[in-house]
Amino acid sequence: MSTERILIIGSGGQLGTELCESLRGIYGDANVIASDVRPLSGSVAESGPSEVLDILDKNRFTEILDQYKPTQIYHLAALLSATAEKNPKLGWTLNMDGLFHVLDAAKERNLAKVYWPSSIAVFGPNTPRVQTPQHCVMDPNTIYGITKLAGERYCEYYFEKHGVDVRSIRYPGLIGYKSAPGGGTTDYAVDIYHQALEHGKYECFLSSETELPMLYMPDALRATISLMEAPAEQIQIRSSYNVAGMSFTPEQIAASIRHDIPGFEISYAPDYRQHIADSWPKSIDDGKARMDWGWKPEYDLQGMTDDMLMHLREMKSQKV
Ligand code: AKB
């Protein structure tokens, strides 16, 4: 029997849905409480406890903490880059105040661990863009990146000042077949697979040569859980770890799809998200994560594309 009880905040999102399934597999369905600002549905709601929680509502948060007495929190609720750019005030409030509520609760209730995701959006136009180091000039110029960098500093501060065991990864774009992303600049790399199977073509909102770091969801889940399970003394970075899987351009992902769907066509209509992508790294140096807690990705671009298309085809055939 697990002695851990884990509260996930933002379980309805792309990462939350899949982390919930993985954590329930490890710690037991009843020990992982899924929560989201909207009522949850599907397997996340059916396989274990689930609650409606707006992390900005402190009273409701307190009620849930009193009811379930979690030992760990995974705080995933946030506005991503593209959505936050459209609504900067809400981006700031949700991304910062939500984190403050969680870190304060962890401090006051002496929680064992907190997980909070950062992003490659902490880097900006003055950052070295190839093999971006763990420590370098950052200067993010999106509201999302600014909140993630401020959040990283807050996490480190709470660890140093209050002993909160908070751990974090700077995710690149996340790609998975089980759940849809929402509001990110890297989301094209998920949508392209759906459109390839449904229509045999895709219009990309980034230009053909825009190279960005990405991570396939099974690798992202493994990275997150390995970091959270590593002994505390191995975690030397309390702001957030660089983690990388692969880097590619829209043209390269299209070529990998053509291995499987030879007639697949891609066209380009860059929009405001191009400006965001242009300020981010092309590739990431994740040497610290590899050294401190043994991180190593398993998927490359073609391996991911083959796996994505196989699973999406399987899911579509089950629907009909
Ligand atoms: C986004 O595109 O906003 C996210 C991210 C890189 O953090 N996927």
Per domain, the residue ranges of the chain are 6-172, 174-214+245-319
**What proportion of the chain, given as a percentage, has pLDDT over 70?**
99
Q: Which residue has the higher pLDDT, 155 or 1?
A: 155
Question: 6-172 and 174-214+245-319 share one CATH topology?
Answer: yes
Write down the pLDDT at residue 319: 80
Which CATH code for domain 174-214+245-319? 3.40.50.720
Q: Kindly tell me the sign of the dihedral angle through the C-alpha atoms of 230, 283, 195, 38.
A: positive
Question: What is the C-alpha to C-alpha distance for residues 145 and 140, in angstroms, rounded to an integer?
Answer: 5
Write down the pLDDT at residue 2: 78
Residue 78 Cβ < 6 Å to ligand 1 = no
Q: What is the mean pLDDT of residues 187-211?
A: 98
Question: What is the C-alpha to C-alpha distance for residues 313 and 304, in angstroms, rounded to an integer?
Answer: 14
In ligand 1, which atom is closest to the CA atom of 186?
2
How many CB atoms lie under 10 A from the CB of residue 87?
14
Report field, pTM of the whole predicted structure over 0.95: yes
Backbone angles phi, psi at 56, to 5 degrees: -80, -15
Question: What is the C-alpha to C-alpha distance for residues 320 and 315, in angstroms, rounded to an integer?
Answer: 9
Write down the pLDDT at residue 1: 66
Pocket probe mutation, ligand 1, options 149, 187, 191, max atoms within 8 Å of Cβ:
187
Which CATH class name applies to 6-172? alpha beta
Per DSSP, 108 falls in state: H
Write down the pLDDT at residue 181: 80
Residue 186 Cβ < 6 Å to ligand 1 = yes
Judged by DSSP in three states, 90 sits in helix
Tokens of 185: 């600049």
Q: Which of 27, 144, 154, 216 is catalytic?
A: 144
